[in-house]
A and B are shown apart, each in its own frame.
Chain A
Amino acid sequence: MTTAAPSARRWRFSVTPTPRWSRALKSLQLPAFWVLAVVMTICAMRLFDLLSSPFARFPTATMTAIILFALYAVPFWLFISSMDFLEREPPLLLATAFAWGALVATTTAMPGNRALLGLLAKLISPDFAFAWGAAIVSPVIEELLKALGLVMIVLIARKQINSVLDGMVYGALIGLGFQVIENVFYSINAVEAANAGDQVGPVVATFFLRGFLAGLWSHTLFSAMAGAGIAWFLVRTDKSLIVRWLGLLTGLFLAWGIHFIWNSPILMDGMGSGGAGLLLGLLLKGLPALILVMGLLWVARHREASYYIDELRRLQDPMVATARELDTLEHGHLRADARKYGRDRAGKAGKKAVRAMQMAQAHLAVELSRSPDGLAGNDPVLIYSRDQVLAAREKLIQLGHPEAIASPMRPAVPRVVVLGIVAVLLLCALIWLAIQSMNAA
């Protein structure tokens, strides 16, 4: 007899599993799909039109900007998509989110931003608009447009948003798309302002400025926060409607708030004392937002992972997953350590087998969550998924490494923490270099 572990009850509302009958092609029957297709086509043409003129005047600089910021997006994309290891999102939907940010949000934000800025200048004063325009206008217009992207994603694939983490992933990708195209335009503006023809110097300076000084706490963060709010509203059907609305409004308000703080003229010139003061000012404005979103991400990941791991735990079958494997599977850094441990003990084949086992276990956990009767119902999809796990187990046993677990000898301080500290120090050094190279003092 199998009984639900206590933690399964605890996390039971964290995830609303995607039903088995959910199919991508069903989206074609929805008006939202066709509205999205038309809007994206129009906005893609508009973006092409906006880029064609600078491309004609500054071909090298424009192409350099596009390539640099496209490459810049790659590690962000990999990081964001890896957040959702257990229940991966459809790549086409991830690409749609990115495309909304890059094509729709950017091209529609331009006239909106300009108009609202003009209204601020006329209704209050040009000085006020100059000082506070970016802080007021950009969060209002841009956060709205990016949030609408997530609404469209939900409208075409409601069942794919089944946890707060999913909302954060889609939100972050919408923000990333926006950030990339916005930075390309900033680069082109810099080339134009330099008034020195088709030079890549201003593009590189903008890359440092927008990529390293402002890149980490930019649209990707803001939209992830808004995505968390929208997903909370959708998923937490156990809460009253008022609480769900409050959660939604909190997410949107926090997205707007951290965008407002980042764009505000407060600490715009740092804390004085040249480059060090500028660096301190940047960290003071950006770091709290980064910590807030990363903290929320950690909680959302943990809750989603706990939900799916509990599905495996309820089987109480050590051939499917041992207790130590379940502990490993729950944490990203332990999964990575398990693959490394597999390689140390059984070479490349060991690493590959551990990865295959983790993927099979994750797949089975997701399928279990979609099937109310579990394995007792003789569901062929579930049986196939379990067989995949058993095949992976067999492979591990053959390699003399039967359990896909993290190394018992791993350092007390997880490698991810050490790498994180090194990355932060490296980032500070890069920001420092960027400030120095741009003669910020």
Chain B
Amino acid sequence: MLFVLLASVNHLAGHQLILFRRAGDLDPANVRFMVAANRWWRNLGGSASVLGALLIVVFGLPALDRAVPVSKQAAASATRHEIAGGVSLIPPVGALISKRTRSDAEEGTALFLIGPARYVVAVSRFEGDLPAASTRLRDKIQNMRGYQVTAGETPVMTASGLSGRAGTFTAPGRVGRYAAYLAPGHLIEVTVTGSESDLRMALERVDESMATIAYGGEQK
């Protein structure tokens, strides 16, 4: 990467080419033309270097990332993160924890970025039953402009035994999944949003992470 940058900068040095050091016997008009042409080509070379560096960052690195497989060891070594109220999970492999807020010990949220997809887990106090929890999350989604729940809900369960209900929704330019889990005295709301291609790349890792949601005690 540094090499590409330095290669670009090298085009800016303005060194005289050896060709022109020996061009004293040429017609001055021709020399000017050749110097200008030389500058034009150097400028093109510099621009191509910059463009190449941008393309490496935007397409090359993501392609390399996709090409490198996720090792089971790496996945297993992920640390469990507590959201709030004793609710914790293992983030998706390679996810970036973009934001974590906690209003008190019992309520908090975490936002993970997996590629362009967003994975939000929110924990809040709740005393109702699972259908009420699910309705609350569904209403919250449908109250956002342009968002529409698209299918019926299905029951889901985490590895630690927390039960919940999951569904899907759509919005202009993006789709999403949601799930509401019930823990003692708490509601765990999960939403995943992104474009269809974003979700396709992230969903497997998100599903693995959702399965690790647990309440209280030592979890692995």
- Interface of A toward B, CB cutoff 8 Å: 29-32, 35-36, 39, 49, 52-53, 56-57, 59, 104, 108-119, 121-123, 125-127, 129-130, 133, 140-141, 144-145, 147-148, 151-152, 154-155, 158, 186, 189-190, 192-195, 197, 202, 230, 233-234, 237, 241, 244, 248, 252
Contacts and interface: CB of A to CB of B under 8 A. Distances in A.
> A interface, by DSSP: helix, strand, loop or mixed?
helix
A39 to B, nearest CB: 7
A193 B40 contact: no
Nearest to B55: A108
Contact count band on B: 35 or more
Nearest to B1: A144
Given A57-B144, A145-B57, A151-B50, A195 B120 contact: yes
A189 B54 contact: no
A130 B97 contact: yes
B94 interface: yes
B122 interface: yes
Q: Which of A30, A241, A244 has the most CB of B within 10 A?
A: A30
Interface string B93-129: 1101111110000000111010110101010000000
Interface of B: 1-2, 4-6, 8-9, 11-14, 40, 43-44, 46-51, 53-54, 57-59, 61-62, 64-65, 68-71, 74-75, 77-79, 91, 93-94, 96-101, 109-111, 113, 115-116, 118, 120, 122, 140, 143-147, 171-174, 189
Given A126-B93, A151-B9, A108 B51 contact: no
Contacts of B143: 197
Given A110-B116, A114-B115, A155 B12 contact: yes
Nearest to B96: A117
| Interface-centre pick from B2, B48, B189 (highest chain A CB count, 10 A) | B2
Given A130-B79, A155-B11, A230-B9, A193 B111 contact: yes
Contacts of B75: 126
A29 B36 CA distance: 11
Contacts of B13: 233-234, 241, 244
A152 B100 CA distance: 37
Nearest to A27: B43
A230 B6 CA distance: 10
Contact of A39 (B54, B78, B96): B54
A315 B80 CA distance: 73
Contact of B113 (A112, A114, A141, A195): A114
Given A155-B50, A197-B143, A197-B144, 20 more contacts: A30-B43, A31-B43, A32-B43, A32-B47, A39-B54, A112-B62, A115-B64, A122-B69, A122-B94, A123-B68, A125-B77, A127-B79, A151-B5, A151-B12, A151-B49, A155-B46, A189-B99, A193-B120, A234-B13, A252-B2
Contact of A126 (B14, B79, B174): B79
A56 B78 contact: no
B58 A108 contact: yes
Chain B CB count within 10 A is highest, among A123, A151, A234, A244, for A151
Given A30-B43, A195-B122, A118 B79 contact: no
